[in-house]
Structure 1
Amino acid sequence: MEWKTVVPFEPIRGEVIPEGDNWVAQVKWDGVRMLTYCDGLKTQLINRKGNERTAQYPEFVEVSAYCRAKTVILDGEMIAIADGKPSFHEIMRRDSVRREQGIRFAAGQVQAIYMVFDILFADGKWVTDQPLAVRQQLLHELIIPSDRVQIVPNVADGSRLFSIMQERGWEGIVCKKLDSPYLIGGKDGRWQKFKLARDLYAAIGGVTLRGGTVNAILLGIYDREGRFIYIGHAGTGKWKVSDWRELTEKISVLTVSERPFHNIPERVKGALWVKPALTVKVEYLEWTPGGTMRHPIIQGWGNVPPEACTVTQNT
């Protein structure tokens, strides 16, 4: 069977946590959205942007070990745990590796967990037109839970779950209507997300160095007119010394003489301009009146192309 990869159903940002018997809430995992395609002979893991990640997660290629369906398309989140909670930085240690030797090393260092929350196709039949409640029942019939594969549980009280996420410092929740079909390529209010932390993907347009190694990055996103706008600089976060060294190596072929930002960054002195080809995920408190992020913290390498770093990415 030749699969045509799909664009997954996305939640919109909600304002008020919905209540009622037809709504359920789920944990919003700080990981990488991942769809699993299995035609009975071949397995592919494809991320939200349609990029293949099968090689990065070899332990999930044998679908029969965790799913009873012969042919299936599953939707979920690939996560890794650090300090007792999901860590985007940790899962990116798996997701961003490209070389075979590095993949084997990362697999031994970071345990990935596949949190499955939906099913689109099972044993020769599309089920996207079925209500979420029916699809979830099908998941419970087909998925074989383990320490590496789990079904995301429903919680009836969304407000209570959101409070628990606040207490634990997790990312947030997603609320879903039990009668909602799965809208391939869709995005509407039947799925709503409520995030505790503000975050976004940004492209690196400049760096500063200390002792020959990058110690801070200047970040930008594209506005509605396609202009690359400076939104702040970051030098703290979850990156290790090895990550800064990796960035230093990568920018060696990306340096440019002209400032890539449409506006003038607040940190120009000593900055080295680079082509906006590398992306990161950044968490921040709020926007300043000047249009920059307040207290940005690097979460890890981004898994999106630069053109996805736009002002509309979180709407």
Structure 2
Amino acid sequence: MTVATNTTKATEKVKVAIIGSGNIGTDLMIKIIRTSQNLEMAAMVGIDADSDGLARAKRLGVATTHQGIDGLINLPEFEDIKIVFDATSAYAHKHHNDVLQKHNKQVIDLTPAAIGPYTVPVVNIEDNLEQGNVNMVTCGGQATIPMVAAISQLSKVHYAEIIASISSKSAGPGTRANIDEFTQTTSRAIEQVGGAVKGKAIIIMNPAEPPMMMRDTVLVLSELPEESGTTEAEIAKSIEAMTEKVQSYVPGYRLKQQVQFERFEKDAPLHIPGYGDFSGLKSSIFLEVEGAAHYLPAYAGNLDIMTSAAQGTAERIAQCKYSTEQSNFVIA
């Protein structure tokens, strides 16, 4: 995380809670404890008293409950908590959000419920700082939408398709239960945040041994250079610049090779099932995401990019909404 500040004294950290003591919630907890600039872990919430996440939280001195959202509300720490992360499921999040909004808590949603606006830190965090609930899209969305946005900033994007390949071992029960929500949420966010007219998302859970790191393929169809006034070199430069911005909070995020370009003229268009014929410029972007291994192995980059994005979003919200001092905290 890149932080720039002009303040001369440290601000009081904002207390946060995490609902969901599984892989994502536990990784996020450890990230906050080890690396956070503005956040302090106040409570870890689960529904399985024997979960590893709750056990780790207890050992780290964090208040815990295995009674879900009701248990969180009854904790003495609840009153001082400003931000609550939800790392459960899309179905459960709807109830959690209803309860938390009544208590005026800032909610950061790591499920595909999408009650609040889709938020990708390097693309639109500044637009959503005043929202009571923000949605972190999906792991695939966090990895690929910045690439779509890097192109849409320069040229009209007619269609963008992403294929997110993750290790089967890094896909927990919540991920497996939300496959439909994953594809729907990611597709919509490609359009609403990435700037594509039409978006499509595919997820692949690879059972390979040893486990593979997260790989993402981003296919973007945009205007030809002579139509947009943007050259292929400028698009490649924009993608490289966006990659560096994501690396500021996900160091293991990288391009696997140079961007590949292909032209399709009007007399020889590309046919896309479900979309139709396309003439223009095709940009193929190949990504790899290596996790920081705070809780799970490095191959679980899909979890790492979600928790890193959620933490980055919370850091910025905490600094803007709850800090008593003004400073120049930036994600860049």
TM-score by length of 2: 0.26
Q: Which structure has more strand as a fraction of its residues?
A: 1
Q: How high is the TM-score relative to the length of structure 1?
A: 0.27
